[in-house]
Chains A and B, each alone.
Chain A
Amino acid sequence: MKKKLKNMERKVGIIGVAYSKFGVRNDVNFNELAYESFKEAINSSNIDLKDISFLIVSNVGVWSSEPLPAVSLGEYLGLIGIGTLRVEAACASGSAAIKIAYDMIKSGEHEVIAVIGIEKMNESTTPIVVEMIGRAGNYFWEFENFGLTFPGYYALYATAYMNKYGAKEEDLCEVAIKNHYYGARNPKAHFQKEVTLEECMNSRYVAWPLKLYDCSPISDGSATVILASEDFIRKSGVKEPIWIRSIGASNDTSNLSKRENFLSLKATVEAADKAYKKANIDKDKLTKIFDVIEVHDCFTIAEILACEDLGLFKRGEGYKIIREKQTYIGGMIPVNLSGGLKAKGHPLGATGISMLVELVKQLKYEVEKQRQADIKNGLALAHNVGGTGHYAYVTILSR
């Protein structure tokens, strides 16, 4: 009993982080792309390969050729004979992988675990990627007969939100403008150029009311986080680890038709509540508590919903606050200073892990100056959604 209690209090820290350049990465193969972030992460962690006792790989696959990604990476990275698995939670696979590693270390079974997220979406042609990602809901009742697409799912939320609260297509574009602004200052982002309101408004419809500039791109990329127990960190003298304070997770129905409304992703609300509770966060002071936040903006509407569902802003107010530029540096709360999924890119399996990489670097003042948040409390939050609120994970980090 004593031992069990001790393990529950065991802290888990992040000791190595990196993500690869995101984009159309036709210059490298699957393993090489993973190695790009793994190499940088392990070098930054100052540990040996032999310290790693388990490898967790986050990868959705289907569009890429390697059927057993964890095994393929294990061989290439020199991590064999330890145990590995692949995790799938759609676009939240990365956070799901982190949760598994976190729990494994907290349980006392492992000291150091490498978590690698990778997606190589451009190994298939765009129509096939659109097809496979559109199936990421309910195949038989929503895809087979009605051909929903991923933008289509979020468009259903956008239509309902705009109708209820009076947001306009221009308001959605404000999210794209901000995220491209920061993406232009992130050398690893898929898109490194700013966009104007006119460009966004003139882009073609993908799934009305969402246009091309409301959507995150089809990206390749990898991200690696090395997690370690507090004991290991103290013993090995790792400097300035960032701690995982809590992880909250939830899930919702496969069929969108079973959702109560299209104004909020319930799984986010639930995951956030769990994370806040575990970390003793006062829900009334979120914008004062967190220095910087990464939210899941696979579409512009998703960032607005995320800010409201996390409790940062009141219902129906999110788009107005974003329009007032309050989610830029210097505003109420800086959101997606990496460029977000929208501009940084969205290689599914890598996304959640890259959010943690980004936040660790923010907390340590290691990102490019023009997109560095002011760190006062040393607290950051990552919000990662899988599918259309099918999965949700909220992870809280602290210095």
Chain B
Amino acid sequence: MQRIIYDEGIKKLEEFAKENKKILGFPIIPDQKLGTALWVSNREIRIKYIISVEKIKKFFEGLFEGKIYATKCLSCNELYFPPQTECGKCRMENVEWVELSGEGELITFTKIFVKPYSFSHYEDYIIGIAKLKEGINVTAWIEEKDIQKIKIGSKVRLKVTKRLPEEYLTYVITIIE
């Protein structure tokens, strides 16, 4: 797991800084390649965003029922995914929630090997973009783990799934053929 490697790296850095505080009186360590002096900051913050989903609550209610919703502007018929309750084109807040078929085809994909820190507890994951029958695209993980079995143009279906270990509902692309 990449998380262990990442955490070990940070732990080593902190231990080195702690050690040098005792010897030198400061958290100053030499750069591994250049030998130049580096100050390891004593301050650290944890960032966790708290984001309003009030206007798109219906989307999450839909996921709870196993449905994936988009919004549609009642004035110009534009379909929005990700859903938004205001149409920028019409400057109107006049949308209806429509359930997506979830059916479409894969238009591109990748497999992430070097992961962001906050995703480093997962195994390598495959991300795809599917074009749905309705004409909109959806980005999501692909359930299939073997990249050799995935092709552009594969018929796919979106499925509501529980993401572990976090245990929350999201959606995934499944390969049909």
B113 near A205 with CB under 8 A, answer yes
CA distance A135 to B47 in the complex (A): 13
CB contact between A127 and one of B6, B33, B109, B139 (< 8 Å): that residue: B6
Asked whether any CB of chain B lies closer than 8 Å to the CB of A141, the reply is yes
CB contact between B152 and one of A65, A147, A148, A159 (< 8 Å): that residue: A159
Given the complex, which residues of A lie within 8 Å of B21, measured CB to CB?
A: none
CA distance A24 to B10 in the complex (A): 18
Nearest CB on A from B168, distance (A): 9
A26 near B31 with CB under 8 A, answer yes
Given the complex, which residues of A lie within 8 Å of B82, measured CB to CB?
A: 138, 140-141, 255
**Which interface class (under 10, 10 to 19, 20 to 34, 35 or more) fits A?**
35 or more
Asked whether any CB of chain B lies closer than 8 Å to the CB of A130, the reply is yes
Within 8 A of A (CB), among B73-121: 81-82, 107-120
CA distance A256 to B38 in the complex (A): 38
- The 25 sampled A-B contact pairs (Cβ below 8 Å) are A26-B34, A27-B34, A27-B36, A125-B9, A125-B13, A127-B2, A135-B116, A140-B82, A141-B139, A145-B170, A147-B125, A148-B127, A151-B114, A152-B127, A159-B108, A159-B152, A206-B113, A207-B114, A255-B82, A255-B139, A256-B129, A257-B137, A257-B138, A258-B137, A262-B107
Within 8 A of A (CB), among B1-59: 2, 6, 9-10, 13, 31, 33-34, 36, 38, 41, 49, 51
CB contact between B115 and one of A24, A149, A259 (< 8 Å): that residue: A149
Asked whether any CB of chain A lies closer than 8 Å to the CB of B175, the reply is no
Given the complex, which residues of B lie within 8 Å of A197, measured CB to CB?
A: none
A100-136 interface code vs B (CB 8 A; 1 in, 0 out): 0000000000000000000000000101101100110
Within 8 A of B (CB), among A176-232: 204-210
Given the complex, which residues of A lie within 8 Å of B117, measured CB to CB?
A: 127-128, 130-131
Asked whether any CB of chain B lies closer than 8 Å to the CB of A40, the reply is no
Given the complex, which residues of B lie within 8 Å of A157, measured CB to CB?
A: 108
CA distance A146 to B129 in the complex (A): 11
Q: Beyond A26-B34, A160-B107, is A147–B129 a contact (Cβ under 8 Å)?
A: no
Q: Beyond A208-B113, A208-B147, is A156–B137 a contact (Cβ under 8 Å)?
A: no
A residues neighboring B (CB under 8 Å): 24, 26-27, 65, 125, 127-128, 130-131, 134-135, 138-143, 145-149, 151-152, 155-160, 163, 204-210, 255-259, 261-262
Q: Which 5 A-B pairs have the closest CB atoms?
A: A147-B119, A155-B110, A131-B116, A257-B137, A127-B117
Asked whether any CB of chain A lies closer than 8 Å to the CB of B64, the reply is no
B140 near A207 with CB under 8 A, answer no
Nearest CB on B from A266, distance (A): 14
B residues neighboring A (CB under 8 Å): 2, 6, 9-10, 13, 31, 33-34, 36, 38, 41, 49, 51, 81-82, 107-120, 122, 125, 127, 129, 136-141, 147, 152, 163, 170
CA distance A65 to B112 in the complex (A): 28
CA distance A149 to B6 in the complex (A): 16
Closest to A65 in B: B41
**With A142-B139, A156-B108 already in contact, 8 other A-B pairs whose C-beta atoms are closer than 8 Å:** A65-B41, A140-B51, A146-B140, A147-B116, A147-B122, A156-B127, A159-B109, A261-B107
CA distance A159 to B9 in the complex (A): 32
A257 near B129 with CB under 8 A, answer yes
CA distance A130 to B163 in the complex (A): 22
Nearest CB on B from A185, distance (A): 23
Closest to B119 in A: A147
CA distance A142 to B112 in the complex (A): 13
Closest to B53 in A: A140
Q: Which residue, A26, A139, A143, has most C-beta atoms of chain B within 10 A?
A: A26
Given the complex, which residues of A lie within 8 Å of B110, measured CB to CB?
A: 152, 155-156, 158-159, 207-210
B120 near A127 with CB under 8 A, answer yes
A257 near B81 with CB under 8 A, answer yes
CA distance A204 to B124 in the complex (A): 13
Closest to A138 in B: B82
Closest to A162 in B: B152
Nearest CB on B from A140, distance (A): 6
Given the complex, which residues of B lie within 8 Å of A138, measured CB to CB?
A: 82
Given the complex, which residues of B lie within 8 Å of A206, measured CB to CB?
A: 113-114
CA distance A139 to B82 in the complex (A): 12
Given the complex, which residues of B lie within 8 Å of A159, measured CB to CB?
A: 108-110, 152
Q: Which residue, B38, B116, B138, B147, has most C-beta atoms of chain A within 10 A?
A: B116
Closest to A204 in B: B113
Closest to B150 in A: A159
